[in-house]
């Protein structure tokens, strides 16, 4: 089943770009790929290549974490207002505590997702008592 996509919003007449949308991604292995597809379609021509790449990696990691460790569907909300992309990713689980930074080898090669998010996002965090992770990436619009 494809993601349920809410309509984009925009404010005609504003001097800069303004786009936002929300997705409800069915739990499963296709969720992160479905999110990337919609982001490319909605923001691909609005963001610089570097900013788009950062957003795609951050969202992929957070959606994959929601699928792997959470419960129920995963919800993604994204907004681009010109100077920044703001995002929220949540699942229907009860929440979690932020993991402590780890070092050394990790069984199975995984476990670096939130560290990657921390490196790429200008700011990010967790909403206490929930499974909602938010992030902000400063992003210039694509050259015209």
Rounded distance between C-alpha atoms, residue 102 and residue 81, angstroms: 34
- pLDDT digit string (tens) for 109-144? 556 788 999 999 999 998 887 889 999 999 877 887
Q: Which residues contact 63 (CB under 8 A, 6 or more apart)?
A: 25, 31, 32, 35, 74, 76, 89
The two three-digit tokens of residue 104, written as one number: 């050394």
Rounded Cα–Cα distance for residues 123 and 63 (Å): 17
d(CA 12, CA 9): 10
Average of pLDDT values for 47-69?
Answer: 95
Are 69 and 88 contacting, i.e. CB atoms less than 8 angstroms apart? no
Q: Which residue has the tokens 């505590």?
A: 97
Query: What's 16-98+110-138's CATH class?
Result: alpha beta
Write down the residue that tokens 């207002």 correspond to: 81
User: What pLDDT score was predicted for residue 17?
Assistant: 57
**pLDDT tens digits along 63-108:** 999 999 999 999 999 999 988 999 999 999 887 655 555 555 555 5
């Amino acid at each position: 089943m494809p993601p349920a996509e809410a309509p984009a919003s925009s404010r005609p007449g504003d001097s800069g770009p303004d786009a936002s949308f929300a997705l409800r991604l069915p739990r499963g292995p296709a969720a992160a790929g479905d999110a990337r597809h919609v982001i490319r379609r909605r923001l691909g021509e609005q963001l610089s290549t570097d900013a788009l790449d950062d957003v795609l990696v951050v969202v992929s990691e957070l959606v994959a974490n929601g699928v792997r460790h959470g419960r129920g569907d995963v919800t993604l909300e994204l907004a681009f207002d010109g100077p920044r992309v703001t995002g929220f990713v949540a699942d229907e689980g009860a929440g979690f505590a932020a993991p402590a930074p780890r070092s050394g080898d990790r069984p199975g090669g995984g476990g670096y997702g939130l560290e990657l998010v921390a490196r790429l996002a200008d700011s990010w965090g967790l909403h206490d008592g929930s499974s909602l992770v938010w992030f902000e990436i400063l992003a210039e619009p694509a050259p015209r």
